[in-house]
Homo-oligomer: A and B are copies of this chain.
């Protein structure tokens, strides 16, 4: 079932705390098929900075990497091979295919999000059309958790763990001094990561007791007047308010609120810059200060933090996420070695989400077209009203982030 030749692995898009687990997983799986040890699969090549490196012959031979070192790299956040945000068009993809032919690459593994799976799909179609046999696999990765079919995506549980822990601690900080605190959280157009802020609440407590009290998701049109009213209501009752806001919030017409404030760039995929700036938080804080100052009185204390890049790479990964990220890589390599010619790997939950869930999942091969360039959003049953997530979301998310610290208060 194996075809003789080399295997190449690339990483693409925003790095995560576990994307190197997936890299290690592919290598695990290829080695189990005899790769690099005089087997049919000869070399395991790493693309430096994804397809950009591949087309520039910038490849790193990983065939002989010792297992111990591979494990250390797997436990290192960010993309060890380097990443890229290039969006290959037809010409670019032809160069990718030429590079594969030049380097005798017959197995192509690409770890990334929905844009990366689309790159993978195009390369696969080109190789089919050209008659050059290339087994093309996409391995899921994104802290946004916005890939179709997947129950969740490697990278998100670890980022969600950071968001939950940061919000737990920051809520304690907020109740120690009166005031309003806004935390801006990643996730682009999907609210999963921002929703994870709700994990900061103790399981048996309402948001009136435990913050964040207000959560704004990109799936719910953001209305400035309603936002001010929401915050004023909590602040009037409690002299404080803890708020989680997605970087991707949009108005009713789908215009990004953040993009209005960030003098940023648009990448090759047409994505506008939402991260790497505190502008959205600062603008919302300024607005609240202005609107909630009583006549002739002092403005409330309003602070905004933007969690930024730290949330996607903080070295405190969820154990389930580490295991699954590695597993998706190994599964893709096994699919390729056992004769499958293309596909993506999806994580499917096999247990039933609920308060007493004993979490279990499995990997499944799905068609590239099922994930390529599509965006999954928070389903309706995960959203509660206009400013919160539901219990169903908490049941979904809680088992994935690992154990959280236990706090107590007077």
A210 within 8 A of B: no
Asked if B306 and A305 make an inter-chain contact with CB atoms under 8 angstroms apart, the answer reads: yes
A406 within 8 A of B: yes
Number of copies of this kind of chain in the complex? 2
Q: How far is the CB of A70 from chain B (nearest CB, A)?
A: 9
Asked if B168 and A15 make an inter-chain contact with CB atoms under 8 angstroms apart, the answer reads: no
Closest chain B residue, CB of each to CB of A184: B278
Asked if A407 and B76 make an inter-chain contact with CB atoms under 8 angstroms apart, the answer reads: yes
Interface locus among A93-101, A170-178, A219-227: A170-178
Cα(A77)–Cα(B81), bound, Å: 37
Asked if A309 and B303 make an inter-chain contact with CB atoms under 8 angstroms apart, the answer reads: yes
Asked if A305 and B310 make an inter-chain contact with CB atoms under 8 angstroms apart, the answer reads: yes
A55 within 8 A of B: no
Cα(A405)–Cα(B306), bound, Å: 24
Asked if B310 and A166 make an inter-chain contact with CB atoms under 8 angstroms apart, the answer reads: yes
Interface of A is mostly: loop
Asked if A46 and B168 make an inter-chain contact with CB atoms under 8 angstroms apart, the answer reads: no
A401 within 8 A of B: no
Q: How far is the CB of A261 from chain B (nearest CB, A)?
A: 10
Asked if A407 and B15 make an inter-chain contact with CB atoms under 8 angstroms apart, the answer reads: no
Asked if B277 and A170 make an inter-chain contact with CB atoms under 8 angstroms apart, the answer reads: no
Asked if B282 and A305 make an inter-chain contact with CB atoms under 8 angstroms apart, the answer reads: no
Given contacts A276-B305, A303-B276, contact A405 B173 (CB under 8 A): no
Cα(A310)–Cα(B181), bound, Å: 12
Cα(A82)–Cα(B176), bound, Å: 4
Asked if B176 and A83 make an inter-chain contact with CB atoms under 8 angstroms apart, the answer reads: yes
Cα(A77)–Cα(B49), bound, Å: 39
Contact size class for A? 35 or more
Asked if B309 and A308 make an inter-chain contact with CB atoms under 8 angstroms apart, the answer reads: no
- What residues of chain B lie closer than 8 Å to A285, measured between beta carbons? 276-277
Contact of A82 among B62, B79, B177, B281 (CB under 8 A): B177
Contact with B along A13-27 (1 / 0, CB 8 A): 001010000000000
Closest chain B residue, CB of each to CB of A84: B177
A237 within 8 A of B: no
A409 within 8 A of B: yes
A87 within 8 A of B: no
Asked if B177 and A76 make an inter-chain contact with CB atoms under 8 angstroms apart, the answer reads: no
Asked if B263 and A276 make an inter-chain contact with CB atoms under 8 angstroms apart, the answer reads: no
- What residues of chain B lie closer than 8 Å to A309, measured between beta carbons? 170, 173, 181, 303, 305
Cα(A177)–Cα(B315), bound, Å: 18
Q: Which of A361-410 contact B (CB under 8 A)?
A: 405-410
- What residues of chain B lie closer than 8 Å to A286, measured between beta carbons? 263
Asked if A306 and B306 make an inter-chain contact with CB atoms under 8 angstroms apart, the answer reads: yes
Cα(A83)–Cα(B316), bound, Å: 29
Asked if B84 and A410 make an inter-chain contact with CB atoms under 8 angstroms apart, the answer reads: no
Q: How far is the CB of A146 from chain B (nearest CB, A)?
A: 20
Q: How far is the CB of A112 from chain B (nearest CB, A)?
A: 12
16 A-B residue contacts at CB 8 Å? A62-B410, A73-B409, A75-B405, A80-B409, A82-B175, A85-B177, A165-B316, A166-B310, A170-B309, A170-B313, A173-B309, A173-B313, A263-B286, A265-B299, A277-B285, A310-B310
Beyond A265-B301, A278-B281, A305-B308, 19 extra complex contacts between A and B, CB < 8 Å: A15-B177, A62-B410, A73-B408, A73-B409, A75-B407, A77-B169, A77-B172, A78-B169, A79-B176, A85-B177, A168-B315, A169-B315, A170-B309, A173-B313, A181-B309, A275-B303, A276-B285, A276-B304, A305-B306
